[in-house]
Amino acid sequence: MHTTIIITFGLILLALMLYIGEKIGFPRQVLAYSFIVLWLALTLINGAVGIVHARQPLGTEVMVGSAVFGIPVAALVLFMVLTTET
């Protein structure tokens, strides 16, 4: 359940960053790179907390962290591909 909540948070963060960033006037590429860096940092922090406090094995955290990081980034890539300006 925790993994689903974190992935949902990532998707909401992505949507907010893209929506607010475009309203402010940032280019999509800057927003995309910013999201990837921010989401990677948050995913690593979440994994570290899982290892230290929840005593999860490193292998499990790497697998779960890959999904937690990958799903919002895949959504970002899909958004960027589908909304390319020609």
- Residues 61 and 47: beta-carbon distance below 8 Å: yes
Predicted confidence (pLDDT) per residue in 19-46, tens digit = 999 999 999 999 999 999 999 999 999 9
Alpha carbons 48 and 50: distance in angstroms, whole number: 5
- Residues 11 and 75: beta-carbon distance below 8 Å: yes
Residue 84 pLDDT: 84
Nearest to 46 by CA among 32, 31, 73, 66: 66
Alpha carbons 9 and 83: distance in angstroms, whole number: 22
Alpha carbons 31 and 36: distance in angstroms, whole number: 9
Per-residue confidence at 86, pLDDT binned at 50, 70, 90? low
Residue 42 corresponds to which tokens in the numbers above?
A: 């948050």
pTM: 0.92
Q: Count of domains in the chain?
A: 1
**What 3-state class would DSSP assign to 61?**
helix
Q: What domain range is 33 assigned to?
A: 2-82
